[in-house]
Amino acid sequence: MNSIEQYTEKTFENIKHIDEYGNEYWEARELMPLLEYSKWENFHKVIKRAMIACQTSNNNILDHFPEFRKPIVGGKGNVQNVIDYHLSRYACYLIVQNANPRKKSVALGQTYFAIQTRKQEITEIEYSKLSEDEKRLYTRILVNNKNKYLFKTAKEAGVENFGKFNNFGYRGLYNGETAKQIAKRKNINENEDILDYMGSEELGANLFRITQTEAKLKKDNIDNEAAACQTHYNVGKTVRKAIEELGGNMPETLPTPEKSIKELEKEELKKIAN
**Closest Cα to residue 240, out of 176, 168, 173, 182?**
173
Does pTM surpass 0.75?
A: no
Q: Report d(CA 42, CA 57) in Å as an integer.
A: 23
Q: Report d(CA 261, CA 250) in Å as an integer.
A: 21
Whether 159 and 217 have beta carbons less than 8 Å apart is answered as no
Ramachandran sector of residue 251 (left: φ over 0; alpha: ψ -120 to 50; beta: rest): alpha
At residue 136's C-alpha, the angle toward residues 235 and 251, to 5°, is 40
C-beta pairs of 235-238 under 8 Å, 24+ apart in sequence = 235/169, 235/172, 235/209, 236/168, 236/169, 236/170, 236/171, 236/172, 236/173, 236/174, 236/209, 237/172, 237/173, 238/172, 238/212
- Domain positions in the chain: 3-117, 124-267
Q: Report d(CA 23, CA 150) in Å as an integer.
A: 12
| Mean pLDDT within 224-236 | 98
Helix (H, G, I), strand (E, B) or coil at 70: strand
224 pLDDT exceeds 90?
Answer: yes
| Mean pLDDT within 135-160 | 90
142 pLDDT exceeds 70?
Answer: yes
Q: Report d(CA 73, CA 199) in Å as an integer.
A: 48
Distances, alpha carbon 11 to alpha carbons 16, 32, 34, 112, 164, in Å: 9, 12, 7, 10, 33
Banded pLDDT at 1 (limits 50, 70, 90): very low
Question: Percent of the chain at pLDDT above 70?
Answer: 88
* Digit-coded pLDDT (tens) for 8-35: 545 787 898 988 877 789 999 999 999 9
* Digit-coded pLDDT (tens) for 175-223: 999 999 999 999 998 788 999 999 999 999 999 999 999 999 999 999 9
Distances, alpha carbon 108 to alpha carbons 79, 88, 185, in Å: 34, 18, 38
DSSP for residue 72: E
* Digit-coded pLDDT (tens) for 167-178: 999 999 999 999
